[in-house]
Structure 1
Amino acid sequence: MSTKFLYGASVQGIQGFIFQTNALREIAGASELVEQICTSRFAQALGKNITDLSEDRKAMVTAAGNIKYVFENEDDCKKLVREFPKVVMEFAPGITLSQAVIRIDDREVSPTDVNELEKRLRTQRNNPYNPIGLGLMAINRSRKSGLPTIRIDNEINKGKSHIDESLNAKKGNMINRICKAFFGDQFQLKKLPFEMEDITKSKGANYSWLAIIHADGNDMGAMIHKIAQESGTTLNYQNIFRDFSLALDKSTKEAAYAAYAEIAEKYKLDTSEKYAFRPVVIGGDDLTVICRADLAVDFTQLFLIKFEEKTVDNFKGLQIKALQNGLTACAGIAFIKDTYPFHYGYHLAEELCGHAKKEAKGKMQNNGLKPSCLMFHKVLDSFVESYPEIIKRELTASGIRLDFGPYYIHGTDTNKIDTLDTLNIFINEFDKNDGNAVKSNLRQWLSDLYKDKEQSEQKMERLISIGKKERIQGLKLASNKGIIANSKSPVFDWLTLISIKEGGN
């Protein structure tokens, strides 16, 4: 058996590259560039096309900024290691590639090899690199990035725009592979939004709220470890690892498409001039989407359901016991104004997703998987801080926490008060005749809770005494304690989603 070489590459600085500016065209262009690095550009570096790469059994992973490939020729491996970083940096200025190689003598790839490769890649990420295109000090620079200007555009209503190499690559990238996966065969380029207001105006001329959705699969590291334990022979492991990666990537894309298709039909989105969604990342177990705020919770709930279903279906052929129940995922939704710095909104969505994962960890399902759930938060001011700080400053009143989530797909208690379905039932109560009056009283109750707990209790007793019995029962407002469970109240979340639905006020 001949010597082999396990090559690994990891794209660094993806978030900073994609969210460098607040311009949707550039954000979307950057995400497409990152997707192409691991697919078409890597295939070209190997002297293949993208179809050949997808069928190549030596390609273990080529998605979500990660590459693992088995070389059988040392010279071919050396050539790629020498040339590929330059290809990537010229194709997507601002991106850095970490590389590592494991020599494998007279055997197949094993889980130990993959672990060692990941260890070396983490070490490589700490090594400094020399970025291209720094330029001299006395040179015109882009106002957005601070990098040297390569051209000046005269944009309508915006005046002169100084374009650097990175912005030029993002603006010029019109390959919409991510969008085609998300919108399906009916994708129309003319309906693709290139400005944030293109997304919001489908709701109304004065509507200005966006949602940034970030979803991530649960316990992926533990799942890969279980696959390694079950796979048996090392040859089997290499094949299963590859098939697992492809099936996971396929499941994420199919779940995103299926969720969008249902939302588009439910809300008649096909009649809009522009899409109300713009996918940013769809690959591996990751999903990042920008959409009109009022559609976000429904879409995310559907995506989490579809992700569970698609992973069950697509993992069947792998015949791995640990995968027979599929996978679950958690998500975070940040509601922001269309003028709010986008990278801060994305960071908040990522934090909310992490918070949901942490909370779900203590509520394992009978099948041994974390339950799928989501958290959301509406940015109300210009402060930029972590979610734990937001909880302390905004979401705690008189010892009562107002971050009631996460909200689960299937529920984790007998009353199922923590499910998205139950949340939607409560929200629908406010659409009835006296909904506005109840909403106004609950807003006042919240305001009083921040100031004086006893005063808030009196307000709630007053609401219960004068409110319509049917509505009081529907919202479970039998007493002040009726809307407080484990020192948490869902009222803030109710009012948040209602305001987003009505226009954000």
Structure 2
Amino acid sequence: MTEYVLTAIDTTQIQGYIFGSNRLQENIGGSELVEMATRQWVYEALPAAHNVVNMTTGEFDNRRTIDTLDAEVIYAGGGNTVILFKTIDLARAFTGRLTRRVLKEAPGLEVVVAHRRFDWEREALSQVVSTTLGVDLARKKQNRMPPMPLLGLGVTVPCASTGLVASGIVEKKPVSLEIRAKTKVQDQSTARLKAKLPQIERGNWDIPRDFDDLGRVKGEDSYIAVVHADGNGIGRRVDAIARRYDTPQRNREYIEAIRTFSQSLERAATQALSSVVDLMAGAFIADAELANRHRQKFPLRPIVFGGDDVTFVCHGSYGLSLAVRYLEAFEEATKNEPAFEGKPAYACAGVALVKTHYPFARAYRLSEELCRSAKQMLKEEKIDGSALDWHIAMSGITGSLEAIRYREYTVRQGELHMRPVLLRASTHSWRNWPTFYTLLDQFIDEDGEWFDRRNKVKALREALRDGPAAVQEFLRTYQLRQLPRAPAINVSGYETTGWAGDRCVYFDAIEMMDFFTDLEKRVQAFKHSSQEAEHDGL
């Protein structure tokens, strides 16, 4: 019998830990501490004989296995880290080193660790991993004692961000141990961002440190976009790997397969985010006025990245352009990764557009809810693909997304919004991004008949609320033959009624007119003009 110990590591309540502050630096610091606690600190806490050859990047030596080691990291990704140890004593000693460091250097972050002994020769490792993650860790999370922070004795000053007892001063503000720790890792976070996305540094643009750096203009209502994207069906792919290697004889093959998949997923997500940065950088290069408006501050900041779960913030009018680019690039990147066997993975994104100083935790929760809304549509329609949903919070958000849409977007005729939408054109539904973009482009095109005619657009918006008869009266009043067309909509009469059954066709496009900058069009126009200039020069 060859007995080893499987150890699984996870964190809890990380949404509140990362997104609970209204200061971008603290959100970034929280994300960096979670990343360090589940990767670099894990590697550094391992016993001397292990398979990690680069503590910073997490590069493994696949030739070094548990047969000759004290510990072998199987994979780190998707929020979990899974390790094989030679003995339970080694596993417990590792846990002590890791948790002491987390307590000391990442106050407030909760780490959960579960151990399970198993027989390498008689038990399928894939099943042991599934049980440890799905049963043991879940039970520990459920039974853990909630933290009870000391709220102060005698005369104390509350932290400006958390309300806990302040233990120091940072930027002339009293802060708790948690905020001090998040502040200390700003340089590490910036270094990791530059390593993952070097084009930001090559462009010599300033990386934003505050929400105001994303493009706020003094005296004007400025919006930021919180974009949250998450892969679809990643768990099913992991389960499929486990089923493929479900015998003890295939334990080594399982390790290689799940490790390769984890690394492929991380590479694809990083490549997709890099494509987002390329689009924003390309727009800066293509439009000098745009770059000058931001005073060389790059109006995009990833907060959570490195896996299929990605969150970034940007200037409000770029949110949809960048979210669409991420989804498209993620599909393409996964299709080219060997672990996906030529079958692209899909993802969904939620885009919350909120005022710059809106409570960030609430904005993030909205983006998560929007992402779930897009996933739910795919599930209900039984469509395998990518989708996105968005919401513009022009005032405070009260209630769930469903309640908001019932209150603000439901009229007698039906639903004013077409959201969520599929990423690609589809025979299943006209509610897709190409259709929406076609309509929006006709409203915002500087050479079009709708541009700079706000009174007419406002009148159309109110007519849409009142139903098809009011839209037809609107067309007669303004002597218009029809509304903008989108060939993909195969519902007769929508261009004269504004509705396709119980769904309004145009309301979303009108609402988005003031909140959308077409970055892709600017980049393509610049490339076209450059090619023409080059051709004329010949």
Q: Which runs of 5+ in 1 are unaligned?
A: none
For 1:167, the aligned partner's letter is I
Partners of 1:437 and 1:456 lie apart in 2 by 22
Q: Which of 309, 331, 341 is 1:308 aligned to?
A: 331
Decide which of 232, 237, 241 is 2:258's aligned counterpart: 241
Q: Is the 8 A contact 1:34 1:65 kept in 2?
A: no
Counterpart of 1:99 in structure 2 is 113
Sort the Cα spacing of 1:178 and 1:337 in 2 relative to 1 into closer, same or farther, 3 A.
farther
Superposed, which structure 2 residues align to 1:339-378 within 5 Å? 339-364=357-382, 370-378=384-392
In structure 1, how many angstroms separate the alpha carbons of the residues matched to 2:258 and 2:371?
Answer: 26
1:103 match: secondary structure: strand
Q: 168, 172, 182: which one pairs with 1:170? A: 182
Q: Is 1:122 the counterpart of 2:138 in the alignment?
A: yes
Q: Structure 1 residues 399, 98: closer, same or farther in 2, change over 3 A?
A: farther
> 1:497 aligns to what?
512
Q: Which moved more, 1:106-115 or 1:222-231?
A: 106-115
* Amino acid corresponding to residue 36 of structure 2 in structure 1: Q
Q: For 1:280, which of 290, 296, 303 is the aligned residue?
A: 303
Residues 163, 51 of structure 1: alpha-carbon distance in 2 compared, 3 angstrom cutoff: closer
Name the structure 1 match of 2:23: 23
**Cα distance 1:193–1:51, how it changes in 2: closer, same or farther (>3 A)?**
closer
Matches for 1:40-119 after TM superposition, within 5 Å: 40-46=40-46, 49-50=54-55, 53-57=58-62, 58-107=72-121, 110-118=125-133, 119=135
How much does 1:128 deviate? 3.3
Give percent identity, aligned residues only. 25
**Alignment-derived partner of residue 227 in structure 2:** 213
Alignment of 1:135-284 (within 5 A): 136-138=152-154, 139-153=156-170, 155=171, 160-173=172-185, 174-175=187-188, 176-180=190-194, 183-187=197-201, 191-201=206-216, 206=220, 208-231=222-245, 233-268=250-285, 272-284=295-307
**2:414 aligned with 1:400, yes or no?**
yes
Give the Cα separation in 2 of the matches to 1:52 and 1:342.
Answer: 30
Q: 1:109 to 1:496 in 2, by over 3 A?
A: farther
Name the CA distance, whole Å, in 2 between partners of 1:27 and 1:41: 20
Unaligned segments of structure 2, at least 5 residues: 63-71, 518-538
Which position in structure 1 is the counterpart of 2:535? none
* Residue type at the aligned position of 1:151: G
Q: Is the 8 A contact 1:5 1:74 kept in 2?
A: yes
Structure 1 residues 39 and 499, CA gap change in structure 2 (3 angstroms):
same
Deviations 1:268-291 (Å, cap 9, x if unpaired)? 376642111010111321110000
Q: Does 1:467 align with 2:488?
A: no
Contact 1:32 1:177 in 2 (8 A): no
SS at match of 1:435: coil
Question: Is contact 1:178–1:280 with CA below 8 Å preserved after alignment?
Answer: no
CA contact (8 A) 2:114 2:132 kept: yes
TM-score, normalised via structure 2 length: 0.82
Counterpart for residue 332 of structure 1: 350
Tell me the amino acid that sits aligned with residue 421 of structure 1. P
Q: Secondary structure of 1:377's match?
A: strand
**8 A Cα contact 2:442 2:450, kept in partner:** yes
Provide the residue aligned with 2:433 in structure 1. Answer: 420
Aligned-pair distance for 1:448?
4.5
Aligned-pair CA distance for 1:73: 3.0
| C-alpha distance 403-44 of structure 1, shift in aligned 2 (>3 A) | same
Q: Secondary structure at the match of 1:279?
A: strand
Q: Give 2:99's aligned amino acid.
A: P
